[in-house]
Structure formats: C-alpha cells, structure tokens
Amino acid sequence: MAELLVIHPLNRGIRPIRLELETDFEKVISAKAGTTYYWDFEKTLRGKDPLDAIQLTQRCSGMDFISHAAAAARALESIAGVSVPPNARLVRNILLALDMIYGNLAHFYQNAVPDYMPLKAGDAEHTLERDYRIPPAVAERIAANVWKALEIRSLIHSMTGIVAGKAPHICNIVFSGITRNLNIADILKLRSILGEVGRFINNEYAVDLEDLEKAYPDCYNVGKGEGRLLTVSEFPGNRPGEYLISGSVRNDSGNQMLDTDLITVDCAGSWFETAGSGSNSPAGPFRISPDKAGGYSWVKGALYDKKTCEVGALARMLLSGNPVISRLGAGAFSVMGRFRARFEETKELVTKISAWIDEYQPDGLLTAKSEMPEEGQAVGAAEASQGSVIHFVSLSDGKIETYNAMDSFSWNLCPQTADNSMGPLEQSLIGLTVVNPENPVEVLRVARSF
C-alpha cells in the first residue's frame, strides 16, 4: 500500500522546498517538488525606469544576484542594439565567475556535506543517526573545511567588492558597460586573494570531494532524472558569438543550439495562471491562483520545446565538453555527478579569472555610447551557480511594461506540466529507496544535489 511522505521545509538553499512523495515498499513512485514561498517580485518593476531593473532584479536572489544584474543589463542592451566595450565584458566575466565559485562552494560545504557526516560547532553538534560512512579522522578534517569554506567565501566577496563596489547587490554593472575601471592596486589585490582561493579549491575542496566519492560510490547511481539539459551562452570572448559556454540544449534528439523562442511557461502545477489570452509566453503577464486545482508550488515552470530541462553546473560541464564529466557517462546524471561537475567548473573558473585579469586594460573604455529606446522587448540571459537565469522585458513609453525573471527554480523545480510531465528534481526522485521515512536521508541527498 502506498504511503505519503511529506518533507517541509527542506532548506539550506535559496528558498525552502516542499516535497510530497508517495512510496510503495520503500520505493518512491510519485513526487511533487515545489515551494510554498510566494514569489511575484517582478510586478514591482512595472512602470519603473528600465535602468532600475539592473539593480532591483538583484534582489531576486541572495546567492546569484550578479547573474540577475547581467541578465537584466543584457536584455536592455539587446533592445538598444549595443555591445559593451572589452573592459566591461571582462569585468562582467570576472564577477559572474566569482559568483559561481561562491555558490559552488556554498552548495558543497554548507548545503550538501551535512547530509553525509556529523558536524560540530562549539557546543552544538549535528549527530542525527544517518548513513554516515566517512572515517572519523577524515570527517573531522572535512568538518573543519566546512568552516574554512566560509572564510574562503568571505574572500570571494572581498574580490567582488574590489571589482564591483560591494557584495551582495553590486554597483558595477550598468546599461552599456560598467561604472569604473580596475586600477593596478585593484588587480594586485585580486591576484593575491585569487591565489588563496585557488589553493583551497585545488587542495582541500579536491580532497574532500574525493573522500566523499570513495565513501558514497552508490551516489553515482541515484538522482538520475531524464537527462535533458539546458545552458545559455555565458562568458563572451573577444570575437562576436564566441563564448566559454555556448547556449545549448540536450534533448531527446541530441545536442542543439539554444533558441530562446522555444522557451515557454507551464503553470499547470503552479499557483500562477497565465493572464489574458492564456498564452504560455514567458513574458507573461501572470495572475495568482492559490486555490487552483492541481496547484502545489509558487514556481512558474519553464519548458524548452515543450519539455522540462535540468540546468546548473552539470548541464554547463557536459554541454561544453568538459572531459572529466564527459567520461562519467551515465554516472554524470547523478547526485555525485552534480557534485563533481561543480568542482570541475570551480577549478576551471579560477584559471579563467586569472586569464581575464591578464587581458584587462586599466585605461580601457567603460561604456558604449547608447540611449535606451522608448519601446521594445528582448530576452537577457546569464548563467548562475544554481542554473540558467533568463529575463524577459518589454518597454512602453520609456517605462517597463512587463517583466519576468526565470531562474533555476523555474527549470529544476518545474511543477508537473499540463501533459503530466515532472520537473527534473521530481524525476530524479522516482525509484529512490527510502529505508526510514522518519529520517529520509536518501531524499535529502538527491534534492540537495541540484
């Protein structure tokens, strides 16, 4: 007989998650993953000056705020048809990379590790009986690095402050460029701090992940999902159309270039509804419907070509051809595969930041000459540690008419769709064995791998 298992709130992430699972003989046979955290921030942008969007949308996330700033700026620049100068491109690349590194470290050490080993902090002790396999001496070292990772994250925010004025909620990304250049003193500080961050990543982080992989090899076989992936174009290069990560999709037909016109919204399992004509355009508008039959989440679901897609480091590393993740084969689509993808990305981004600093010219141009049009609509996109961020904006009479910001929750926590398809997190839970419903650690590990 099927039994209902509800986990709420599942936290340690950006927003608390509610999981509703049906199990039959310890196997998960159905899953609903959503959030009871009401989110309709974009309505506050209507009627405002378009330039305000770059600052205000950063409040969409305490973790991926730089990605929202970049997506907003790119949407407005697309309407104006403007390309930013080389220095602005490099500064934005550095800031986005720092934000991803920060998020990846937070995900591993503060979000995931506590599900695999006990942690101690002063008089407080995390000692719930779980599936703990890491030897005590190794666990003690990793636990120390959980706290050291907080110091490293503080250093990363110091670097963000040097480049962008402060963190969180930066000031150095604006329409058509940046507000200030880096000077020689800034560059020397960045290099010094980057060296310390890089040493932690290549030593402590690398070893800690390897020890987790050795203790939990079975985590390469759980949390698989259906394997559809999506990334947007990120980290532009010197030449037009050149990106470190190209906008791509892996679907049932193989790998394809991303076409943002194929992105739609599905609100079937959401407490939102499309307003007006019922269009599934991501531009909206939307209205709330908290009593809607079938609704269980405040997430507006995102689809690509009518299919759900996973976003995040795994998608970025596989679609950009990272050799380590590619060699994992089917094992990449797993709890541990996502952890390994975040590490490989973090290590790569430290190297890229160093290269972008080398390329930077302290006396280069800050902005391109341009004016914001009175009318128009566009899509702006950026990658974040959690996954793809996409902004849809339309302007009328020089003001924002409609705005919709989609992030990793729209993709990975897409609620069940009109054709009863499940989102990536829900898919990854199907078939999972839950030994003890009173302590469903298997579920927690899968959910916190995204």
CATH number at residue 318: 1.10.645.10
Give the mean model confidence (pLDDT) for residues 292-303.
95
pLDDT of residue 130 exceeding 90, the answer is no
Count Cβ atoms below 10 Å from residue 431 Cβ, excluding itself.
Answer: 12
User: How far, in Å, CA of 285 to CA of 42, rounded?
Assistant: 10
pLDDT score of 1: 65
DSSP strand pairing (399-406 vs 388-396): antiparallel
In which band, very low, low, confident or very high, does the pLDDT at 126 lie, cut at 50, 70 and 90? low
In which band, very low, low, confident or very high, does the pLDDT at 283 lie, cut at 50, 70 and 90? confident
pLDDT score of 278: 57
- Specify whether the CB–CB gap between 73 and 65 falls below 8 A: no
CA dihedral 160, 70, 264, 372 (to 10 degrees): 160
- Specify whether the CB–CB gap between 93 and 352 falls below 8 A: yes
**pTM for the full predicted model:** 0.95
pLDDT score of 280: 87
pLDDT of residue 274 exceeding 60, the answer is yes
DSSP strand pairing (254-257 vs 263-266): unpaired
Q: Which of 80-84, 121-125, 137-141, 322-326 has the lowest mean pLDDT?
A: 121-125
Beta-ladder partners of 23 = 3, 28
Give the mean model confidence (pLDDT) for residues 272-300.
86
* Number of domains composing the chain: 1
What is the extent of the structural domain holding 266? 3-447
User: How far, in Å, CA of 445 to CA of 218, rounded?
Assistant: 12
Which 3-state string (H, E, C) describes the chain?
CCEEEEEEEECCCCCCEEEEEEEECCEEEEEEEECCCCCCHHHHHCCCCCCHHHHHHHHHCCCCHHHHHHHHHHHHHHHHCCCCCHHHHHHHHHHHHHHHHHHHHHHHHHHHHHHCCCEEECCEEECCCCCCCCCHHHHHHHHHHHHHHHHHHHHHHHHHHHHHCCCCCCCCCECCECCCCCCHHHHHHHHHHHHHHHHHHHHHHHHHHHHHHHHCHHHHCCCCCCCCEEECCEEECCCCCCEEECCEEEECCEEEECCHHHEEEECCCECEEECCCCCCCCCCCEEECCCCCCCCECCCEEEECCECCECCHHHHHHHCCCHHHHHCHHHHCCHHHHHHHHHHHHHHHHHHHHHHHHHCCCCCCCECCCCCCCCEEEEEEEECCCCEEEEEEEEECCEEEEEEEECHHHHHCCCCCCCCCCCHHHHHHCCCECCCCCCCHHHHHHHCCC
pLDDT tens-digit map of 364-414? 999 999 999 999 999 999 999 999 999 999 999 999 999 999 999 999 999
Tell me how far the alpha carbon of residue 416 is from its chain's centroid. Answer: 20
pLDDT of residue 215 exceeding 90, the answer is yes
pLDDT score of 11: 83
pLDDT of residue 441 exceeding 90, the answer is yes
CA dihedral 403, 408, 412, 418 (to 10 degrees): 0
Higher-confidence residue of 276 and 403: namely 403
pLDDT score of 277: 54
pLDDT tens-digit map of 241-260? 999 999 999 998 889 999 99
Kindly list the distances between the CA atom of residue 98 and the CA atoms of 89, 211, 222, 425, in Å, as whole numbers in the listed order. Answer: 14, 25, 30, 26
- Specify whether the CB–CB gap between 442 and 28 falls below 8 A: no
In which band, very low, low, confident or very high, does the pLDDT at 301 lie, cut at 50, 70 and 90? very high
Mean pLDDT score across all residues of the chain: 94
In which band, very low, low, confident or very high, does the pLDDT at 100 lie, cut at 50, 70 and 90? very high
Give the mean model confidence (pLDDT) for residues 339-343.
98
pLDDT score of 258: 97
Give the mean model confidence (pLDDT) for residues 124-139.
76
Beta-ladder partners of 272 = 288
Tell me how far the alpha carbon of residue 253 is from its chain's centroid. Answer: 25
Q: What percent of the chain has pLDDT over 70?
A: 97
Tell me how far the alpha carbon of residue 146 is from its chain's centroid. Answer: 21
Query: Which residue carries 């460029």 as its tokens?
Result: 177
pLDDT score of 284: 80
